[in-house]
Structure 1
Amino acid sequence: MILDTFFYEGTKFIISYSAVWELFFSMHVLANPEHHISRKKWAKLKEEEYPDLIKEIRELSCLTDSWLLVIDSEKWEEISQLEIPDMLIFFRKKNIYQWNAWVKCSETGKEMCIQERNRILDVIERYYTYSFKMEETILRQYILQILQRERDKCKKEGVWSWCERIHSRLKITQNEIVYKKDQEYKYGKQEIDSVTITASTFVYPHLWMSNNKYRLEMVKSVMVENIKADIPEEFSNVFKALGDKTRLKIIQLLLQGICTTQALAKKMQLSEAAISKHLKIMLEAGLVRKIRKGVYIEYEFRMEVIDFIPYKFYETMLI
């Protein structure tokens, strides 16, 4: 829903609300509640009310990039203004090849089988129907009022000045927009076709950066719960898991292809019970995943968790 469009210093600005964006980010929060301290109470209530559904949302977290797969796609603009039921129809009309071509336009998009695609869409539809539909109706009116006020501030104070205030890690210079995440991402103002301004009750503490260098999205956090500046448990668990010499050795062996409890125990000359205890800590931290192969359970090290430690550090410590 586009509220307003105007130009400022040669750049097109769009004030917009997207129900689809808010839907997917709410699912992202449910998949990672510890990290989103401004929505902890909400996530806990959802988990108590819909335990099986929330369990499925979390099970699909890896496959969907924690449910950001769609809104982080280069093709996001195709559906950004759709209502949620229309978005579901849009994707259900696509065959599996068209679906894979669409999702792989995201940096983390992976090819799926038709059963995986159908399960994802079914979970989205059930979540929307039973949990989010009524809530979104209320949120929409609330966010629209906020966007109308923020639009007036933009025009009065200058849009770039307003943009810089939405997050401490977003810097605007005379010629550039700089996102400070795992590294600095710089966009020249003259190269940008448009900037979409919106607001979300779920985005905090993220600094959102769209996957399109010519069309940026600025998302203002709207706080609906009182928060305590705790360090998320999931974040500290990673460092706890890495802060042990034995577990570091296990990681080294996993990367060499030694991936069962029995093989690790034999190689390290430890009991299987001791190895299992270390693997449990690593599983809880998200550093490894289980893969069943016949009667055996293998473990795989998730290198992407290590790759994102700098980003998580910035996001947690420099909110």
Structure 2
Amino acid sequence: MRVDAIYEKGIVVEFVYSPLFEMFCALHVLSNSQHHIHRDKWVEKINSLMTENMKNDINRFSLITDEYLIIMDFCNDFKECSDLNILSALDFLDDVPFYKINGVFKNYNKRITNIYYRELLRFLRDFYIKIFQNELKYIEPIIIRELKRKLTLGKDKGIFYLIDSIHSRIEVLEDEIVFYKFKEFRVKLVDLKYININVSTFISPHLLLGQGKNSINLTVLIELGNNEDKCPKDLEKKLKALGDATRLRILSEINPIGKSTQELSNSLNISEAAVSKALKLLLEAKLVNKIRRGNYIIYSLNSIEIDYLPYNIYEYIN
């Protein structure tokens, strides 16, 4: 739903409310609740309402959609996903040519089978009808009010003041906008023609950024509740796992080539039991991966989690 728009210095800024996008954000939180402690009470409530099958589906589809971050791009690439209510948007996605759906996944070096995609749509309908429909009645007025407040701010102070205020890791410079994520993203103002701004009550502390050829998509965060005294549990697990010399040595040993428990025991000159204990903590923190090769389990470095660690620390302290 398009709430309103501002035109300034050749740039159109649209303020859009997409209920489907907000549902994807909710699913992201449910799939990675340890990182979104501001919603821990909500997660606890929703978990009490869901069947075990639905919980399993959330985790199953989380793996192929990168915790639902990939399918959030549907709302950027297909404007119908923002213009329509959730069920109508899902009906629209059911009719989109499948190569276009996989085009979205291809941007993340992934693909989804047609059968699996139809199962995903079935699950999304089920989750909306049984769970999210009632939640939306509460959060929808909050989102629309916040969009209107941001619209007023943009009209009063200008669009660049508005963009700079959206997140502490956005910086508007004289000729470009810089987004500080796991790496810097820079958008030249001369190339920018369109900015889409939406709102979510779920995705804090993320800085969500969608980029097109001449456009960017930004999400305003709304905090419901106060958990400033808490550290994200997944970040806490990672830092605790790294706070030990043996576990750090294991990470060094398995990079870049994975090793088995026996190999680690020999190279580090410690017992296999001690290695297994250390690997258990590293696995729980998602810092290592494991795969079976014949009779052995091979452990390798989860380089993506390692790469994102400085970003997650910076995200929390800011």
TM-score > 0.5 by shorter chain: yes
Match of residue 206 from structure 2? 206
Change (3 A) 1:248 1:69: same
Change (3 A) 1:75 1:202: closer
- 3-state secondary structure, aligned to 2:218: strand
C-alpha distance in 1 between matches for 2:174 and 2:249: 49
Match of residue 84 from structure 1? 86
- 3-state secondary structure, aligned to 2:182: coil
2:183 pairs with 1:187: no
- 3-state secondary structure, aligned to 1:177: strand
Deviations 1:192-232 (CA, angstroms, capped at 9, x unpaired): 11111221111211122113252112322122212224221
- Shift of residue 73, structure 1, vs aligned partner: 6.6
Paired amino acid for 2:69? L
5+ residue gaps, structure 1: none
Deviates most, 158-167 or 284-293: 284-293
Structure with more helix by fraction: 2
5+ residue gaps, structure 2: none
Match of residue 58 from structure 1? 59
2:244 pairs with 1:244: yes
Change (3 A) 1:74 1:80: closer
C-alpha distance in 2 between matches for 1:215 and 1:37: 31
Match of residue 233 from structure 2? 233
Paired amino acid for 1:206? H
2:180 pairs with 1:170: no
**Does the CA contact (< 8 Å) of 2:171 and 2:177 recur in 1?**
yes
Change (3 A) 1:55 1:191: same
The count of corresponding residues between Structure 1 and Structure 2 is 316
Match of residue 278 from structure 1? 278
**Does the CA contact (< 8 Å) of 2:256 and 2:301 recur in 1?**
no
Match of residue 35 from structure 1? 35
C-alpha distance in 1 between matches for 2:174 and 2:133: 42
Deviations 1:235-264 (CA, angstroms, capped at 9, x unpaired): 122222223332233223433544433443
Deviates most, 138-147 or 247-256: 247-256
Paired amino acid for 2:230? D
2:302 pairs with 1:302: yes
- Shift of residue 75, structure 1, vs aligned partner: 6.1
Paired amino acid for 2:103? A
- Shift of residue 37, structure 1, vs aligned partner: 2.6
C-alpha distance in 2 between matches for 1:234 and 1:118: 31
Change (3 A) 1:6 1:21: same
TM-score by length of structure 2 reads: 0.87
Change (3 A) 1:278 1:114: farther
C-alpha distance in 1 between matches for 2:97 and 2:147: 37
C-alpha distance in 1 between matches for 2:164 and 2:124: 33
**Does the CA contact (< 8 Å) of 2:11 and 2:194 recur in 1?**
yes
Change (3 A) 1:256 1:218: closer
Match of residue 103 from structure 2? 101
Paired amino acid for 2:55? I
Deviations 1:239-290 (CA, angstroms, capped at 9, x unpaired): 2222333223322343354443344334444333222211110111111234
C-alpha distance in 1 between matches for 2:241 and 2:67: 21
Paired amino acid for 1:249? R
Deviations 1:20-45 (CA, angstroms, capped at 9, x unpaired): 21111111111222222321211121
- Shift of residue 11, structure 1, vs aligned partner: 0.7
Paired amino acid for 1:85? L
C-alpha distance in 1 between matches for 2:97 and 2:44: 36
C-alpha distance in 1 between matches for 2:189 and 2:314: 24
**Does the CA contact (< 8 Å) of 1:69 and 1:109 recur in 2?**
no
**Does the CA contact (< 8 Å) of 1:96 and 1:113 recur in 2?**
no
C-alpha distance in 2 between matches for 1:279 and 1:252: 13
- 3-state secondary structure, aligned to 1:123: helix
Match of residue 71 from structure 1? 72
- Shift of residue 17, structure 1, vs aligned partner: 0.3
Change (3 A) 1:141 1:294: farther
C-alpha distance in 2 between matches for 1:296 and 1:122: 38
Which runs of at least 4 in structure 1 moved beyond 6 Å after TM superposition?
Answer: none
**Does the CA contact (< 8 Å) of 1:16 and 1:197 recur in 2?**
yes
C-alpha distance in 1 between matches for 2:263 and 2:190: 57
Paired amino acid for 1:247? R
Change (3 A) 1:144 1:56: same
**Does the CA contact (< 8 Å) of 1:289 and 1:301 recur in 2?**
yes
